[in-house]
Structure 1
């Protein structure tokens, strides 16, 4: 791996630093200006291939389409203080919408396609977009939400267009403004590029502002030699946003797909398009490693396999590592940081570490009293990038809760940094459980269960008992083509964990898939609710029998 971050540790303040951040381009340039220039400089290169819609766009075609979308927005009088709404899969012309917003300096507020109408209403009641791009699949939900909010909003569909709706192809007939140029950043350079959503595992997702900054241009992406990349993430994920930005800035061919994630289809795509850079979330990793096609798939084109966003079992990581010749790169951050905070470029030497801080970032570990800790001491992970952050859009109270007066983000994750400066995430702080007043974490039990050869994925959570407190329970997905029953898991945990409070005292269920939040992360609350529903149904059946 050519990129090697320079790491320092200050023992006096107990802070690990990735060194100074360096810009690839002139510092006054916005993301939109950089992409505009790069598209213009390499017009005949392939910019995007849709593996599902079977479309191919050159960089020249993408630039002209983006200018048409931007010109349409300018015709409506949209200003940099306005917001564009977005609820969409990765379809052919989504890139034109994103780049059109970048060219105008108008942020988009991207929501997940799985959100219910109530969640759409609550989020759009905050940002109040003047223009919304969505798939026809979500058109009725979006229309009902805007009507309830009494928004004067134009809705444009990107695929599966309902009769009578304004569609993206109509917008792409807009004449390009004469002598079109992308908007310039304000001198203070504190503009918002996009608004994404937090994971939403504890309620309605928060609207996270993303700064228009060259810090989004990760050094590891600059150094990859292969020009073809793929990520299934949509634009409500930071990984989806980064992918579409980096494709434009570094002249890569971006392979997209608008289907539900299909691991077998992904294996075929990697071979067909000679994909060299893959970015995946852990839930998709588990699905990939568990599919029957995985063992025979030709993954030799992958030079860099980057993953992050939530915990991934070491067993899944190792299975994927065994099938690729390139680099496995674990990345870690929180959406509020606007970009990756750490990278593990030494997977084989430090498996399961999320790595060291990248340039411009710092890490520290604090205890319950807020005191910074040294190497190998476990506490809350705090992150620092020194950048202006506009906070959660319309929510200053929550903004103050996650970022302190010294500009450190409090991640809510528990972890430690080893003697070599590598960060390890232990668990979510808020996931702490207590059995008879003894603290423990679901991840400790998940780690054991994930070592079972027939287990693909597992989620552990606490079920409240009046006497014992949080009794551990688990939802488990078995590997394809294997046999697994609940008693097998109970017996395995009992054999490998000696303490009573870490046993699965509340039981186990086998499920087809885990419950996830809108951004694909495992949702403990939803899995717990499903577990309780299953148990209640069993109880009712026993009573009726």
Structure 2
């Protein structure tokens, strides 16, 4: 069972802190070096099972695949300053690609398969990968998006005739006396690069270091654990699962299909999964199926979820099917590169995201940057006291996110109660999440503003237990123009191939937008008006 965090409060500084991280491995070893050693300690244990491709790999077999991929990357002449791109589902050989990057001390930049061509182009123009591993399903989109880069593209499945296949890579001879790379910058060096939307709509590439903080909440894992996460490598949870499975020699269950709640419940039952991490939308989808009432979740010993909120009804229904009370709300953000808080006290603190995990400090600040005490609402700031490379190629936003005293400014508004439990009330920033894909209202507002009939527009998120923030719009049409709400919805759909950047909650035509006293558009007020007009709760 996971540990119960112990937190301390300094009333003079108004700072909460936790115990130090317990180091089970030499502190100087990189994540890649740890996994390299651990893979060889348990060669006969099953490392990975694909529930969709029907493959089973022992740790020895997975280790050999990693060595082939790592040797291929070295044969291409990549240095530790280079980047490898990844856009793929959880196929049999994708974990080997991630571990191979770890072994070589080369960061990978992973993107979601649903990103449109323009987003891929913007992101990879930032990091300029030398190799990209992607599924054949997205090959043409990726090739078009990276046509200006000198990059080789390797496909992981459904291979087009003109692509390099992962099978060719796996045929690369293993380098003689292969050893994992010694990191040029130690454990401050970047391990992976994930994505976060920028405040201006320009995507940001978030660096994650080789810090041990990513292990802090999961030191309870052992070789008897069976891990399952449907999240791919572009999410911190997908990265977390990949790392912890390699470090703690667990068995990992993967699947390369779109998330299916019934299939997910079957995986838990058939493989006796003990550890799972999901977004709240997955919980909602599961409890809304008829099969949920008879599903078998009895093997679970750690059920983590996070990324946004889940209703108490959904949480209680999940708990009703568990044999051990192990549902845990975890809070964190990509920039931190780890879980920040975990709630292991659901009955006592049902709406809290919990207490700090080991190795962190927290404070709540007001608009003047002053620290606040218990029960006072402000911005949540977290410090791990460690080096952070920041947003790749974006120093200004890096400074905005983390101050000179190494405090991350989360952009979330919350408070800490007198028992040290954190409560998140709302986002300070406008970022929205649809099926865990981050986007900004401005992304869609820009598209709608292209319409010649549109005078003004305000886009906001309408919450769905299943999908998260569904975009909706209040639109002011130009005088004398004929424009319907459906025209707006259809236009947005025609201008983007991304499901999350569409008006999934609809639109309404209004005479004028709701505004604040200073004349600026009030997003919250427009959303309230929209909900009243459409009778949505």
TM-score (norm 2): 0.81
Q: Deviations over 1:477-529 (max 9, x none)?
A: 799xxxxxxxxxxxxxxxxxxxxxxxxxxx9xxx9xxx9xx9x9x97xx57x4
> 8 Å contact 1:229–1:278 — kept in the other structure?
yes
Report whether the alignment pairs 1:119 with 2:128.
no
> 8 Å contact 2:121–2:146 — kept in the other structure?
yes
Distance 1:100 1:344 in 2: 34
| Aligned-pair CA distance for 1:7 | 1.1
Query: Paired residue for 1:17?
Result: 17
Report whether the alignment pairs 1:378 with 2:377.
yes
Counterparts of 1:420-439 in structure 2, within 5 Å, are 420-431=419-430
> 8 Å contact 1:80–1:106 — kept in the other structure?
yes
Query: Paired residue for 2:165?
Result: 167
Report whether the alignment pairs 1:70 with 2:70.
yes
| Aligned-pair CA distance for 1:531 | 3.8
Distance 1:43 1:197 in 2: 34
SS across alignment from 1:102: helix
Q: Deviations over 1:60-107 (max 9, x none)?
A: 011110011010111111110000000000000001101100000000
Greater shift after overlay, 396-405 or 16-25? Answer: 16-25
Query: Paired residue for 1:336?
Result: 335
> 8 Å contact 2:83–2:106 — kept in the other structure?
yes
SS across alignment from 1:430: coil
Report whether the alignment pairs 1:272 with 2:270.
yes
> 8 Å contact 1:44–1:58 — kept in the other structure?
yes
> 8 Å contact 1:3–1:223 — kept in the other structure?
no
| Aligned-pair CA distance for 1:323 | 1.3
Distance 2:509 2:232 in 1: 34
TM-score (norm 1): 0.80
> 8 Å contact 1:226–1:303 — kept in the other structure?
no
- Note the aligned Cα RMSD (angstroms): 2.9
Counterparts of 1:68-217 in structure 2, within 5 Å, are 68-147=68-147, 149=148, 151-186=149-184, 188-198=186-196, 203-217=201-215
| Aligned-pair CA distance for 1:156 | 0.2
SS across alignment from 1:254: strand
Counterparts of 1:361-400 in structure 2, within 5 Å, are 361-400=360-399
Greater shift after overlay, 132-141 or 226-235? Answer: 226-235
Query: Paired residue for 2:314?
Result: 316
| Aligned-pair CA distance for 1:221 | 4.3
Distance 1:277 1:320 in 2: 14
Q: Deviations over 1:186-228 (max 9, x none)?
A: 3643210000001568724310000012222134343468510
Distance 1:110 1:259 in 2: 18
Distance 2:466 2:117 in 1: 33
Query: Paired residue for 2:297?
Result: 299
Query: Paired residue for 1:484?
Result: none
> 8 Å contact 1:475–1:531 — kept in the other structure?
no
Query: Paired residue for 1:356?
Result: 355
Query: Paired residue for 1:450?
Result: none
Distance 1:471 1:168 in 2: 42
Structure 1, unpaired ranges of 5+? 433-441, 443-460, 480-506, 537-545
Aligned length: 464
Q: Name the CA shift for 1:329/1:106 in 2 (closer, same or farther; >3 Å).
A: same
